[in-house]
Structure 1
Amino acid sequence: MFNFFKKKAPKTNLAPDSEVKSSLTAQQIEQIELKINPLLEQIEKTDDLLILASSCEQIGLLYHQLNHIDLAIEYLEKSQQHKKSIGEGYKTLMNLYNAKRAYAAQHGSLADIDIWMNKMDAMRNIAKQMTIQRD
C-alpha cells in the first residue's frame, strides 16, 4: 500500500542532448531512425492537420526513445500546435517539461525554471480545454 521499502527508480536528468547517454544498441537506434525518415517525408507532403499532428507526435516519441530530448520536445510541441490532444505525446511532453524544469532547478537557472513552468501551465490548460469539450 505505502511501498516504504520499495526502491525508487533513479531520477533522470535532462541535460542538453549531447550530455544524455543512450542505453539503446546501435541496431535499435538504426531501427528507430528508419521509422523517423518516412514520417518526416510524410510531413513534407501533406497539409492535412490530423496527419501532421499524428506524424509529429510519432516523430517526437521516437526522438524521445533516442534521448534526443530537444528534438522530441520540438516535434511534440508541433503536434500540439496542429491538433490539441491529451494522448501519449501530451504525457511525454509534460514529463519532458517537468524534467527540464528539475534540471534547471538543480543548476539554479531561475529564468529556465520560469520557461518550463509556463510551458507546463500551457499544457495543463490544454488538458482543461479538452476535458471541457468532452462534457
Structure 2
Amino acid sequence: MYKITFLIFFLSLSFLSKAQDIVADQILGEWLNEEKDMRIEIYKNGSEYLGKLMWAQNYFEADGKTFRKDISNTDKSLRTRSLHNIDILHDFTFTEDIWDNGKMYDPKSGKTYNCLMKFKDETLEIRSYVGIPLFGRSTYWKRSL
C-alpha cells in the first residue's frame, strides 16, 4: 500500500513539473520588437532563457553584406564584435507566470538593463529597469510569423 501511495505521489509531482515546463517554454520562438525593427529568437539553455538577435534594421554595413559591429557597447573590448546572433536577453528563469532575474542588452544604446518578461494576451511584455521594476519601461513584442 505504501509503495502505491509513494508511486502516485511521485507521478503527480512529475506531471506538475512537466506542466510548469510547458508553460515556461511558451516563450520560445521568434519575436518582433514593438518598433518592428528587430527580430529576436528566444531559446532555452538548461533552465535559463536567452534571446539572440536574428535580424535588425540597419543590420548590415553600407556594402549590404558585412554585419554591423557593436560600436555603442559600454565595454570597449566588445565594440569590434558583430551584432549577428549576439545574446541580448540572458539569465531569465521562470517562476510562476514571470520570467525574471534576467538582463536585456540594448544594442542601440549599448546599455544593459535588469528585466522581467510576462505574457499579456498574445503579447510578450518586457519590462526593463534600473533598480526596481516600478522605475522601468515596458515594451511589447509580437510573435514573428
TM-score, normalized by length of structure 2?
A: 0.23
Higher fraction of strand: 2
Higher fraction of helix: 1
TM-score, normalized by length of structure 1?
A: 0.24
